[in-house]
Amino acid sequence: MFLALKEMQRAKLRFGLLAGAVGLLVFLILFQQALLGGLINQFIGALKNQSADVLVYSDQARKNLEGSIIPPDQLAQVATVEGVADAAPLGESTFTVTAGGEERDAVVFGYELGRPGAPTTLIEGRLPEQGGEAVASEKDRADGFDIGDVVQVQPDGVEITVVGVARDINYSVSPVLFVDFATFEAAKRTRNPDATTILPSVVAVQVASGSSPESVATAINDQVDGVEALTRQQAVDGSPGVSSVRSSFAIILGLFYLVVPLVTGLFFLIVTFQKASALTLLRAIGASSRTLVTSLLIQVVVVMLTGSVIAFGLYAGALQGVKNLGVRVEVQPVVITSLVVLVLALVTSAIAVRRVLRLDPLSATTGGGVHV
């Protein structure tokens, strides 16, 4: 321990630059992860953060909520499948609304109160208790979707009062309103007054105790024709565009996770070669291989932890500039990412460790150093 820290103290610039480089790379990993989470929530947060365990689409919709319609007979059949505790209509549509004195697009989700499909991330206010009330997305509070604001569906349609706000419930990067199904029907008739029946987009299913969403979804697909039942996570993962975004970010993050340990491992390997004579001399005067290896690994840990602290500071500061995406500073991803890169750095440092273990004390008499 003393040997490792003493050497780092004598070479502050060298180790400081490495810690800074590691910090920058870890920050980029954290920032990319935050952007990915923010984008996903903006695209399909409303699906991810609603209470249904299983969502049943039309099999022609290709997992696209906008293109799905469920007729009454299919809804009735889904309700009879074993393992289904409750099956309720869930409607979704995009409307032009007036909010905050301006016209803008908003996505309205209609669910039957007290049944599956309600938002699950309420942070202020309450859920709707009657028609004409809504829970809105937190990110859009300043745009006329705060508690007490009245949003009107255009042209001159139903008025909806916001009674609660929930986190991460945007959909298709638009504001969202969760309302009761009757209010959703009224909003749809604003555009089509002659419509006799307003059909739900999907069936929201609550799974019975003792059953799993996966098994219930499989049973629905086997027993009900013309539908595609998906667990909530499958619906999120299968939404149009989500898999492409994740694949793109996965490649970027994979490269970063590869670069960090390679940079660290190469640095300590070079340092080991540079101080080969000093290490050999230490071995000659009695220092054990274990002591030298422990010193090396302590330096790796200190550099990586210092870099992680630098990364967290940069991460917290950078997220202040992208609050419009709904991203927040969270400690868990920082800890997990730091541990992953630390383990990878220790693994890649094995080459430097191997060089230390090959030191021959007798080489101190000839100046041989490490044998390549």
Q: Are both 220 and 247 inside the same structural domain?
A: no
Give the total number of structural domains in the chain: 2
Q: Are 215 and 268 contained in the same domain?
A: no
Are 89 and 172 members of one domain?
Answer: yes
Cβ(264)–Cβ(351) below 8 Å: no
Q: Looking at the structure, tell me whether residues 36 and 117 fall in a common domain.
A: no
Rounded distance, CA 167 to CA 109, Å? Answer: 15
Q: Cα 50 to the chain's mean position, in Å?
A: 16
38 vs 287, which has greater pLDDT? Answer: 38
Q: Is residue 54 part of a domain?
A: no
Q: In sequence order, which residues have a C-beta less than 8 Å from that of residue 9 and are 6 or more positions away?
A: none
* Nearest C-alpha neighbor of 361 from the set 350, 353, 370, 352: 370
354 in the same domain as 250: yes
Residue 185 is assigned to a structural domain of this protein: yes
Q: Are residues 86 and 212 in the same domain?
A: yes
Chain-centre distance for alpha carbon 272: 39
What per-residue confidence (pLDDT) applies to 327? 67
- Do 219 and 253 belong together in one domain? no
Tokens of 191: 């555009």
- Residues 219, 272: one domain? no
Helix axes 12-48, 331-348, angle to 10 degrees: 130
Looking from the CA of 202 toward its CB, the CA atoms found within 13 Å total: 30
Share the mean pLDDT of the chain: 87
Do residues 215 and 180 both lie within one domain? yes
Say whether pLDDT at 35 is over 90. Answer: no
Give the SS3 label for residue 239: coil
Residues 169 and 129 in one domain: yes
132, part of any domain: yes
Distance, CA of 211 to CA of 200 (rounded, Å): 25
The whole domain housing 11 covers 2-43+242-365
pLDDT at residue 191, as a whole number: 82
Dump pLDDT digits (tens) for 144-170.
999 999 999 998 889 999 999 999 899
Q: What is the DSSP letter of 81?
A: S
Q: Is residue 26 part of a domain?
A: yes
Domain stops at, among 172, 200, 225: 225
Percent over 90 (pLDDT), the chain: 48
Alpha carbon distance 254, 23 (integer Å): 17
In whole angstroms, what is the distance from residue 170 CA to residue 267 CA?
45
pLDDT at 279 (0 to 100): 66
pLDDT for the residue numbered 13: 87
- Compute φ and ψ for 88, nearest 5 degrees: -130, 155
Tell me if 119 is assigned to some domain.
yes
The counts of H helices and E strands in the chain are 11, 10
DSSP state of 69: -
Flag the least confident range among 10-24, 225-239, 292-306, 353-367.
Answer: 353-367
Q: Which of 199, 225, 251 is the last residue of a domain?
A: 225
CA angle 272, 274, 279 (to 5 degrees): 60
Residue 360: pLDDT over 70: no
Query: How confident is the model over 166-187, as pLDDT tens digits?
Result: 998 999 889 999 999 999 999 9
pLDDT band at 370 (very low <50, low <70, confident <90, very high): very low
How does residue 212 score in pLDDT terms, banded at 50, 70 and 90? very high
Give yes or no for a contact between 72 and 49, defined as CB atoms under 8 angstroms apart.
no
Among residues 324, 252, 343, which one has the least CA distance to residue 31? 252
Q: Which pLDDT score is estimated for 365?
A: 54
* DSSP code at position 208: P
From the list 116, 199, 118, 110, the residue with the least C-alpha distance to 160 is 110
Spatial separation of the C-alpha atoms in residues 369 and 274, rounded to whole Å = 10
In a domain, 49, yes or no: no
User: Which residue, among 199, 206, 236, 244, has the nearest Cα to 58 in the 3D structure?
Assistant: 199
- Confirm whether 235 is domain-assigned: no
Burial class (CB in 10 A: 0-12, 13-18, 19+), 273: middle
Let me know whether 33 and 119 are in one domain. Answer: no
pTM of the model: 0.76
**φ/ψ of residue 319, rounded to 5:** -70, -20
Domain C-terminal end among 195, 225, 255: 225
Confidence at 283, pLDDT banded by 50, 70, 90: low
In a shared domain, residues 268 and 347: yes
Evaluate whether residue 83 is within a structural domain: yes
